[in-house]
């Protein structure tokens, strides 16, 4: 390639080479060649027309002129590496900063990182106050894994930018952040802003960007320290409290996260989006009453906001305030764009009111779109409520045939199986799950449902194998660990193996009543009655449940404390006292 290009150039005689138009050379030098499609984050801006006119009279010696022509021809042919072989020596042997700038840009574009650093250093040596040279130098340093050196160069860039009194701190550091966002690894960006924070200890913008990048790098402790400093410097900065709230939530400090968000809301009470974020956080933390209060404020501010209407309506349904929910959802009917949603959510209201026929009619009117799939699932579920099992199965089979999304398809199969199980047909249910797993063999929910169904049919080996297959994919799946442990404890004599699985689940979620119940039950099966009683009592204190009561009562009974066992059972709510498992336990013990 190089040889062919050189032969082409040598067709020019020396006289032609020396008299070629200086303007043409300058245009090639100052504009992007056809082979270099500049990207804003890779190549700094080209000089303006004014700058081009100022250098119109420039002259180059024959050797330089040859190098520039050769480099441009290579660039036009898309050979950036060869272009750089001509440009970089020309840059290093001339004091014209434009040649160095061109060499640096070509090297950056071609990702010739070491050469880019050489060219950038040359450019910066010739024009030490040129912001574009500084930016290219920073990019080159970052690409050569020299983040600390880049930090020092950024300091010079910021000082240069701030010479213009019209530029604010926010603008200056935002420019740096943009450069880092496009060119630096997140960890390098953290390092850069951490370095900057040592020089700008009272600059909130530096700590704000440090917090943002640290959060992206999952360095939550550093991010929290940085955002705390922002709040110290700017106590009225509501956005800083929002970021602090997000960081606290990511760190697992949910209550503190809500406190931070509430401070932000109180500082900007008219910020609709901010209040909606706070309300959403309340919902995620199951603070439904407080969430309702926030959505009432949002509704008063914007009574036609679709998301607010839907969220508030659903919260009202949770509190069984159906009439107010109806009033809200009917507002959606007035807008053709939300009429479909009105049908769906009014159907939800009918379900809560147990008006299943009316709900079914509404769901059947929901047209294809965002809510169509959920409406079809609810149609099948309502058929089941109305004891129309065949209709439910047919609707789900039809839905599975047209649904391509694997996750949605799994939901169809899961509901199909659950409806059959609720109807008492466990064999048909496990057949559905087995067929579904042939199609979706790694779906966690299907594996879990199949294993549970197998256990209910006394197919213990199949159930255990299913739980273990699931755990190969998700070793810390708490539900599967507990279910496998409980199945082994309750249905086999592999008690020690059972204990190992249950303890793994316990370590992951120590206050879960189902896990505590399993732990108590395996201790009972191991003959450790005192330990069993301790764990089962803890489980029952957390969750008054018929199955836990059956286990707790059986342990007390075996310990000779029959009066206490009877008291546990008799104090259960009336509907729980009719639980099949509890009744079977009491009957067996009192024989």
What does the pLDDT read at residue 40?
A: 32
Q: How many CA atoms lie within 13 A of 7 on its CB side?
A: 4
Tokens at residue 469, please? 């297959």
Spacing of C-alpha 546 from chain mean position:
38
What does the pLDDT read at residue 69?
A: 87
pLDDT 10s digits, 354-412: 999 999 999 999 998 889 999 999 999 999 999 999 999 999 999 999 999 999 999 99
Residue 29 has pLDDT above 90, yes or no: no
What does the pLDDT read at residue 428?
A: 97
Give the span between the Cα atoms of 25 and 207, in whole angstroms.
47
- pLDDT band for position 59 (50/70/90)? low
Write the DSSP symbol of residue 368. Answer: S
pLDDT 10s digits, 225-244: 999 999 999 999 999 999 99
pLDDT 10s digits, 300-318: 999 999 999 999 999 999 9
Contact of 130 with 171, CB cutoff 8 Å? no
Q: How many CA atoms lie within 13 A of 100 on its CB side?
A: 24
Contact of 90 with 113, CB cutoff 8 Å? no
Average pLDDT, the chain: 87
Buried b or exposed e, range 147-166, using 16+ CB within 10 angstroms: bebbbebbbbbbeebeeeee
* Overall pTM > 0.85: no
Identify the three-state secondary structure at position 417. Answer: helix
Give the span between the Cα atoms of 87 and 105, in whole angstroms.
10
Contact of 90 with 47, CB cutoff 8 Å? no
Return left, alpha or beta for 198; rule: phi > 0 is left, psi -120 to 50 is alpha, else beta: alpha
Residue spans per domain, the chain:
1-144
Q: What DSSP string runs through 240-303?
A: HHHHHHHHHHHTT-HHHHHHHHHHHHHHSTT-HHHHHHHHHHHHHTT-HHHHHHHHHHHHHH-T
What does the pLDDT read at residue 545?
A: 95
| Phi, psi at 49, each rounded to 5° | -60, -35
Residue 252 has pLDDT above 70, yes or no: yes
What does the pLDDT read at residue 35?
A: 37
Contact of 76 with 35, CB cutoff 8 Å? yes
Contact of 485 with 518, CB cutoff 8 Å? yes
Cβ neighbors of 19 (< 8 A, separation 6 or more) are none
Give the span between the Cα atoms of 335 and 533, in whole angstroms.
59
Structure-model confidence comparison of residues 462 and 57, the more confident one: 462
pLDDT 10s digits, 414-441: 999 999 999 999 999 999 999 999 999 9
pLDDT 10s digits, 502-556: 999 999 999 999 999 999 999 999 999 999 999 999 999 999 999 999 999 999 9
Closest listed residue to residue 209, CA positions, set 243, 257, 158, 167: 243
* 410 C-beta neighbours (distance < 10 Å), count: 21
Give the span between the Cα atoms of 434 and 429, in whole angstroms.
9
What does the pLDDT read at residue 156?
A: 86
Closest listed residue to residue 463, CA positions, set 441, 442, 486: 486
What does the pLDDT read at residue 17?
A: 34
Say which CATH architecture domain 1-144 belongs to: Alpha Horseshoe (1.25)
CA–CA distances in Å: residue 213 to residues 55, 171, 224: 42, 17, 11
| Phi, psi at 189, each rounded to 5° | -60, -40
Q: The dihedral of CA 388, 390, 393, 399: what is its sign?
A: negative
Give the span between the Cα atoms of 282 and 397, in whole angstroms.
38
CA–CA distances in Å: residue 449 to residues 483, 490, 491, 536: 11, 18, 18, 26
Give the span between the Cα atoms of 426 and 517, in whole angstroms.
25
Give the span between the Cα atoms of 481 and 160, in whole angstroms.
60
Residue 16 has pLDDT above 60, yes or no: no
> Tokens 């057949």 sit at which residue?
431
Tokens at residue 128, please? 């030490």
> Tokens 């810390």 sit at which residue?
476
What does the pLDDT read at residue 38?
A: 38
* 587 C-beta neighbours (distance < 10 Å), count: 9
pLDDT 10s digits, 90-139: 989 989 899 999 999 999 898 898 998 999 999 999 999 998 899 888 88
Tokens at residue 278, please? 């706070």
* Mean pLDDT across 199-203: 89
Give the span between the Cα atoms of 456 and 460, in whole angstroms.
9
Closest listed residue to residue 181, CA positions, set 209, 152, 148, 158: 209
Cα dihedral 491, 492, 493, 496 in deg (nearest 10): -90
Give the span between the Cα atoms of 526 and 531, in whole angstroms.
10
Buried b or exposed e, range 484-507, using 16+ CB within 10 angstroms: bbbbbbeeeebbebbbebbbbbbe
Number of H helices, E strands in the chain: 36, 0
Structure-model confidence comparison of residues 355 and 45, the more confident one: 355
């Amino acid at each position: 390639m190089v040889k062919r290009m050189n032969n082409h150039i040598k067709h020019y005689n020396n006289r032609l080479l020396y008299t070629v138009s200086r303007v043409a050379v300058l245009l090639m030098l100052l504009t992007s060649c056809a082979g270099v499609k500049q990207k804003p984050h890779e190549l700094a801006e080209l000089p303006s027309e004014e700058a081009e006119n100022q250098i119109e009279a420039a002259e180059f010696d024959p050797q330089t002129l040859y190098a520039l022509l050769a480099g441009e021809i290579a660039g036009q042919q898309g050979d950036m590496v060869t272009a750089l072989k001509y440009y970089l020596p020309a840059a290093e042997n001339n004091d014209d900063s434009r040649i160095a700038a061109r060499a640096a840009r070509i090297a950056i574009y071609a990702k010739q990182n070491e050469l880019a650093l050489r060219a950038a250093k040359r450019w910066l040596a010739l024009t030490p106050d040129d912001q574009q040279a500084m930016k290219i130098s920073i990019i080159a340093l970052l690409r050569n894994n020299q983040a600390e050196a880049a930090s020092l160069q950024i300091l010079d860039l910021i000082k240069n930018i701030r010479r213009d009194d019209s530029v604010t701190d926010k603008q200056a550091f935002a420019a740096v952040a943009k450069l880092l966002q496009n060119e630096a690894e997140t960890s390098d960006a953290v390092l850069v802003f951490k370095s900057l924070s040592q020089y700008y200890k009272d600059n909130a913008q530096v700590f704000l960007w440090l917090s943002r990048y640290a959060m992206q790098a999952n360095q939550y402790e550093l991010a929290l320290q940085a955002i705390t400093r922002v709040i110290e410097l700017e106590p009225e900065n509501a956005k800083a409290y929002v970021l602090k709230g997000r960081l606290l939530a990511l760190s697992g400090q949910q209550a503190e996260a809500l406190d931070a968000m509430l401070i932000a809301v109180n500082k900007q009470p008219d910020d609709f989006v901010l209040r909606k974020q706070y309300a959403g956080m309340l919902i995620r933390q199951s603070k439904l009453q407080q969430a309702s209060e926030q959505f009432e404020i949002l509704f008063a501010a914007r009574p036609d906001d679709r998301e607010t209407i839907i969220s508030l309506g659903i919260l009202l349904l949770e509190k069984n305030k159906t009439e107010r929910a109806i009033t809200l959802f009917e507002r959606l009917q007035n807008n053709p764009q939300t009429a479909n949603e009105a049908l769906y959510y009014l159907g939800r209201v009918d379900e809560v009111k147990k008006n299943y026929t009316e709900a079914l009619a509404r769901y059947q009117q929901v047209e294809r779109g965002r809510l169509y799939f959920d409406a079809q699932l609810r149609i099948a579920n309502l058929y089941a409520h109305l004891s129309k099992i065949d209709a439910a199965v047919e609707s789900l089979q039809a839905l599975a045939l047209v649904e391509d999304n694997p996750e949605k398809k799994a939901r169809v199969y899961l509901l199909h199986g659950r409806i059959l199980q609720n109807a008492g047909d466990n064999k048909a249910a496990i057949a559905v799950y087995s067929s579904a797993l042939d199609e979706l063999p790694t779906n966690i929910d299907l594996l879990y449902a199949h294993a549970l169904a197998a256990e209910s049919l006394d197919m213990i080996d199949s159930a255990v194998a299913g739980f273990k297959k699931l755990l190969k994919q998700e070793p810390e799946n708490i539900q599967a660990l507990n279910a496998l442990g409980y199945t082994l404890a309750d249905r086999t004599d592999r008690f020690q193996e059972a204990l190992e699985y249950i303890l793994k689940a316990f370590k992951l979620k120590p206050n879960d009543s189902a896990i505590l119940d399993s732990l108590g039950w395996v201790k009972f099966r191991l003959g450790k009655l005192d330990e069993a009683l301790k764990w089962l009592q803890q489980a029952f204190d957390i969750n008054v449940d018929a199955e836990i009561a059956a286990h707790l009562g059986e342990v007390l009974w075996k310990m000779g404390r029959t009066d206490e066992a009877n008291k546990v059972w008799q104090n259960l709510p009336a509907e729980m006292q009719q639980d099949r498992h509890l009744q079977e336990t009491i009957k067996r013990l009192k024989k």
